[in-house]
Amino acid sequence: MKKQKVSISWSGGKDSAFALYKILLSGQYDIVNLHTVIGEDTRRVGLHGVPEELIEEQAVALNLPLKKLYLKTSDNHDEYLALMDSFYCQSKDEGIEAVVFGDIFLEDLKKFREQLLEKSKLLPVFPIWEFDSALIVQDFINVGFKTLLCSANAALFDQQQVGKTIDRTFLESLREGIDPCGENGEFHTFVYDGPIFKRKVEFDLGEIVSRSYSFKKRNEDGSINEITSSFWFQDLLSRKASR
């Protein structure tokens, strides 16, 4: 049977890693590459805050090509849409047939991804869609993945929790209402080892910093609220890059 050629939407975190793990187990896909959106100015991955060189090292450890998509710093969402649309159309021209996402239950996000793929005619693949979040993270730990908290909402987490590897003790410490996979944006992770890695990604922990972000949210009545959130970020330093 001919395998479908896919590109993996790669954040460097556990959900994209588990989605990759699941499609590898299925044996139904030919993985052409990973692709990651990186800030053109920061050289880091969005709200994960993971530096570009560690995403590169993940790709090497996974033995997969990496496509880096550089996003200009802007409040204009159209910049992101144009970047992704261009990449998807190029991918289609190169023979890729589908894009794999690690989303779990956010319907709006799933619909957004599907709509963004329409022009290129690429198909969306959601290997862990509607899986139970608690079961996902338990399976993730049980099969041997290692991931740490690289950023977290400061209203929900203490500073000392950032930089810790996610294990059962971490899961038991989560406040009521926090999704075990952080699917609502409560926290983000960096995966550094696991069954799909050829070798462990080596890094050191740098400083923990706090940053605030403002964004606008449209309410059901059409009114718009401006919301400010503060996040803790654990800086991660590549040992390879520092040599």
| pLDDT value at residue 143 | 97
Q: Pick the residue with more confidence: 72 or 215?
A: 72
Tens of pLDDT, residue by residue over 60-108, are 999 999 999 999 886 678 899 999 999 999 999 999 999 999 999 999 9
| pLDDT value at residue 240 | 78
- DSSP string over 99-125: EE----S-HHHHHHHHHHHTTTTPEEE
Task: Please state the domain extents for the chain.
Answer: 4-242
| pLDDT value at residue 223 | 60
What is the distance between the alpha carbons of residues 28 and 5, in angstroms, rounded to a whole number? 9
Strand partners, 24: none
Average pLDDT over residues 210-227: 66
| 15-19, 74-78, 209-213, 214-218: range with lowest mean pLDDT | 214-218
| pLDDT value at residue 224 | 62
Three-state SS at 129: coil
Superfamily classification of domain 4-242? HUPs (3.40.50.620)
Q: Is the pLDDT of residue 222 over 90?
A: no
Tokens describing residue 240: 């390879």
Tens of pLDDT, residue by residue over 141-178, are 999 999 999 999 999 999 999 999 999 999 999 999 99
The backbone torsions φ and ψ at residue 11, rounded to the nearest 5 degrees and listed phi first, read: -95, -15
Place of tokens 């692709």: 35
For residue 135, what are the CA distances in angstroms to 120, 132, 171, 179, 184? 34, 5, 11, 11, 16
pTM equals: 0.92
Contact criterion met (CB below 8 Å) for 16 and 102: yes
Three-state SS at 164: coil
For residue 12, what are the CA distances in angstroms to 26, 67, 78, 145, 226? 21, 13, 24, 13, 29
Tokens describing residue 183: 């699917």
Q: Is the pLDDT of residue 242 over 60?
A: no
What is the distance between the alpha carbons of residues 45 and 55, in angstroms, rounded to a whole number? 9
